[in-house]
Amino acid sequence: MVQGLINIGGFFLLGGWAWIQKQRGATLDIDEIAPQPEPFNKHQWLTLAMVGILILLVVLPGLPGMKGMFPKVVLNMLSNVGSIAFVLSCVLMLTGSGDSKAAVKVMPWGVIMMVCGVSVLIDVMDQAGGLNAMVKMIGALSSPTSVVLCILWSVRFLA
């Protein structure tokens, strides 16, 4: 509530009332602000179909009574969203629905490399026993009071 009051107060303090007065009686042409989009082409419809298929292939095997309908190998593949997305993206690439060169150019490679590197480091630390040692250290230093204090501190200062 306080944030909302501050936002509204700031709006009026920085000239909001004058803006409202200026907008009175003005007409608004929505086509000028947001022109009508062009209809979907066949590649866009195919992409929407692939997204729908992805959702169905991920959700359907998890529904009750579906486990007996699929072999275990198929269920294992369908439980991995990445493998389904890879197959469907191959279909999209083979049909020419996207510009793969342009997509590769705009990928955030720095972020991808950072995530991969952190994943490798965590796996190495886990295999070397570092995660178990860290959990034991945290368990040895933690008490009900310190845990509550850390939670309250994080809620107050990090939120």
The pLDDT confidence band at residue 158, using thresholds 50, 70 and 90, is low
As a whole number of Å, the CA-based R_g of the chain is 27
141: which 2 tokens?
Answer: 């230093």
- State what percent of residues in the chain have pLDDT above 70: 99
CB burial of 105-139 (b: ≥16 within 10 Å; e: otherwise) equals eeeeeeeeeeeeeeeeeeeeeeeeeeeeeeeeeee
Which range scores top for mean pLDDT: 10-14, 59-63, 152-156?
10-14
Give tens-digit pLDDT for 89-143: 999 989 988 887 888 899 999 999 999 999 999 999 989 998 888 888 888 888 8
> Are the C-beta atoms of residues 92 and 47 closer than 8 Å to each other?
yes
Q: CA of 158: how far to CAs of 71, 148, 150, 154, in Å?
A: 47, 15, 11, 5
Give tens-digit pLDDT for 81-91: 888 899 999 99
